[in-house]
Amino acid sequence: MALHRKDFFGLRDLTADDIRYILSTAETMKYILNQKNKKAPHLQGKSVIILFYEQSARAKLSYELAAQHLSANVVDMTNSAHSMERESLQDMGQLVDQMGADFIILRHPMAGAARLLAECVEASVINAGDGYNENPGQSLLDLLTIKERKGSFEGLKVAIIGDLLHSRVAKSNIWGLTKLGAEVCVSGPPTLLLPGIEKFGVQVHYDVREAVNQADVILTTRMRMEAQDKTFLPSLDEYKRFFRIDHNLLRYAKEDAIVMHPGPIQRGIEISDGVIDSPQCIINDQIANSVAVRMAMFYILSQMGGALA
């Protein structure tokens, strides 16, 4: 069986078979979600702690629903985490661990936070996003959505457009897609591309039209324009002129290309209104898959041991 570990940090550490196993398990969980009674007993009597040091209502809700559908007890400690910011992550983790937690879902602004926490707790730690490193849960729901629409990853051309420097989802998607056999092309403002990104096994295009040329899938990132980001890009208007996904740009992609976004989307910036409202944009499919993927992550870790042994 794949994934012989107690924690889940990201896709970089996984094999192609590991990823396929998670996706097939998520498909089984979708079957459960389609039943009138969505409850399954796999985590009955277990405790899941939500520990988000960064806000994300969508991600938090999907983890909560996933745990509840598997009959776990869920405690949201997000407010406690923010009120105890001076307490170290290890101290907070050990506090939760000593109270009998079986899972800790951690979202943290520091890259490597999930690994740091996992070293000092018996509970299984799931990385819900760590700094600019990875966001495996979002990536896996993206992969499941692509698999449902395209059937296979072999031979697919996937274009990832936008801010690859700050997007942890983009990094997770690159690891996952390349391992599964897809051809990945990236494009974005040169200041927002990772240094040495070619080493990830992707093709880099500074002209976005070349990146989306004959693409089967177009993945966009969320653009930020906070004060510290103005050193990377003067304005969102400049980004829109060159990198926004609109119908003119889609003419270069395959006729049946799909457009995806991790959310929350900024209408008219990353993707034009016309494309968002078209059948090619499958953001709703991504949202629908979010709970099933998190259920699969819980279920697989529950079979591996850790605090659940």
Average pLDDT on 47-61 reads 93
50: left (phi over 0), alpha (psi -120 to 50) or beta: beta
Dist. CA 53–CA 55, nearest whole Å: 7
Q: Is 244 annotated as a binding residue?
A: no
Helices of type H across the chain: 16-33, 57-69, 78-83, 89-98, 113-118, 136-150, 168-179, 208-212, 236-243, 247-250, 273-276, 283-304
Does this chain's domain 16-135+290-308 share its CATH topology with 136-287? Answer: yes
pLDDT at 306: 40
44 annotated as ligand-binding = no
Nearest alpha-carbon partner for 50 in 107, 97, 99, 112: 107
The yes-or-no verdict on residue 79 having pLDDT over 80 is no
> How far out from the chain centre does Cα 188 lie?
19
What integer pLDDT is reported at residue 20 of this predicted model? 96
Sequence-separated (6 or more) residues with CB below 8 Å from residue 233: 189, 191, 192, 223, 225, 239
Query: With 70 as the cut, is the pLDDT of residue 162 above it?
Result: yes
Helix (H, G, I), strand (E, B) or coil at 49: strand
Instruction: With cut-offs at 50, 70 and 90, classify the pLDDT of residue 81.
Output: low
State the pairing for strand pair 183-187/157-161. parallel
Q: Is 224 annotated as a binding residue?
A: no
Backbone angles phi, psi at 116, to 5 degrees: -60, -45
Judged against a pLDDT cut of 50, whether residue 12 lies above it is answered with yes
Give the angle subtended at the CA of 96 by the CAs of 88 and 290, to the nearest 5°. Answer: 100
Contact 89, 116 (CB under 8 A): yes
Terminal CA-to-CA distance of the chain, rounded, Å? Answer: 16
Please check if 115 is assigned to a binding site: no
The share of the chain scoring above pLDDT 70, in percent, equals 92
pLDDT of residue 307 exceeding 60, the answer is no
Query: What is the rounded CA–CA span in Å between residue 264 and residue 218?
Result: 16
Query: Max CA-CA distance within the chain?
Result: 57
What pLDDT score does 88 carry?
82
Q: How far apart are CA 62 and CA 70, in angstroms?
A: 12
Give the range among 96-100, 105-109, 234-238, 257-261 with minimum mean pLDDT.
Answer: 234-238
Q: Find out whether 267 is annotated in a ligand binding site.
A: no
- pLDDT tens digits for range 223-279: 876 644 567 777 788 889 999 999 999 999 999 999 999 988 989 999 999 999 999
- Ordered by start, the domain boundaries in the chain are 16-135+290-308, 136-287
Question: Can you give the pLDDT at residue 309?
Answer: 31
Burial 233-265 (b: 16+ CB within 10 A, else e): beebeebbeebbbeeebbebbeeebbbbbbbee
Residue bearing the bigger pLDDT, 223 or 182 = 182
CATH 3.40.50.1370 fits 136-287, yes or no: yes
Helix (H, G, I), strand (E, B) or coil at 75: strand
For position 91, what pLDDT does the model report? 85
Rounded to whole angstroms, the Cα distance separating 297 from 59 reads 14
Mean pLDDT of the residues in the chain: 90
Assigned token pair, 76: 């949201």
Residue 35 annotated in ligand binding: no
CA distance 6 to 36: 31
pLDDT at 230: 63
Whether the per-residue pLDDT at 60 is higher than 60: the answer is: yes
Domain 16-135+290-308 has CATH 3.40.50.1370: yes
pTM (2 decimals)? 0.92
User: In 10 A of CB 206, how many CB atoms?
Assistant: 12
**Half-sphere exposure (CA, 13 Å, Cβ side) for 51?**
31
